Amino acid sequence: MVVSNELDHKYIVQTAEMLFDLIVELNKALSIQFEFINIGGGIGIPYGPEQRPVPIERIADGIKKAYGAKIVANKLDPLKLFMECGRLITGPYGYLVTTVRHMKHTYKDYVGLDACAANLMRPGIYGAYHHMTVLGKENMPSTYKYDVTGSLCENNDKFAIDRMLPQIQEGDILVIHDTGAHGHAMGFNYNGKLRSAELLLRRDGSVTQIRRAETPDDYFATLDFDVLKSFK
């Protein structure tokens, strides 16, 4: 967690260099021979359309150079390098597809969705940005300001605050981008919300369901009704 969702490749390389230095220091002080080192999983993804992916080749070149200068030079090789790149691998390839259920126009304009924080909790718990598009309106100007909300009875159940989008109407389909790493994996059943199905879009354009939607039977599956009846 030295770096998290970092888009500057130099910080990833610097993190590896710091850990290599620590390995050398501990080896000299304690004569420990290390088998592997976990250099973290902080490589980020471009959540915003103006951002660019991290140049993986530069990370590899920088770490390889540091490995030779610090690990090989101090005769500490071979040393396995592990990484945890779940966000990088899965994040850009998941989308939360949701329908506009209602609109509210008071002192602000609100877009109410059939999805909620139970489907994607990052924006609600720490204000994370996820890009949004409206199907069929991708090329329309984003001239309307909305708070995009979920259906939980919580003030922080919002996917976006003051987000500029095309004009939205009930029935529109919103696509929330880059939810592959922290969508279903962080899902929950607060307020009795059932988690949605997951669909796989294949290269040929076909769609396959890979996870069915939860049902009320799933929600109550771990509840022992026989025990509850004994309290009559």
SS3 assignment, position 36: strand
- The encoded tokens of residue 151 equal 């259906």
Measured between alpha carbons, how far is 14 from 193 in angstroms, rounded to an integer? 43
Could you tell me the residue ranges of all domains in the chain?
9-90, 94-219
Q: In sequence order, what are the residues at sequence separation of 6 or more whose Cβ sits closer than 8 angstroms to the Cβ of residue 172?
A: 99, 100, 134, 135, 136, 137
- What residues are labeled active site? 153
Which helix or strand (DSSP H or E) is residue 26 part of?
A: helix 9-30
Residues 2-22 pLDDT 10s:
688 999 999 999 999 999 999
Residues 38-66 pLDDT 10s:
988 889 999 999 999 999 999 999 999 99
Measured between alpha carbons, how far is 95 from 98 in angstroms, rounded to an integer? 9
Closest CA to 16 of 58, 63, 60, 59: 63
Q: What is the pLDDT of residue 229?
A: 82
- Answering whether pTM is above 0.75, one says yes
Question: What is the CATH topology of the domain spanning 94-219?
Answer: Lyase, Ornithine Decarboxylase; Chain A, domain 1 (2.40.37)
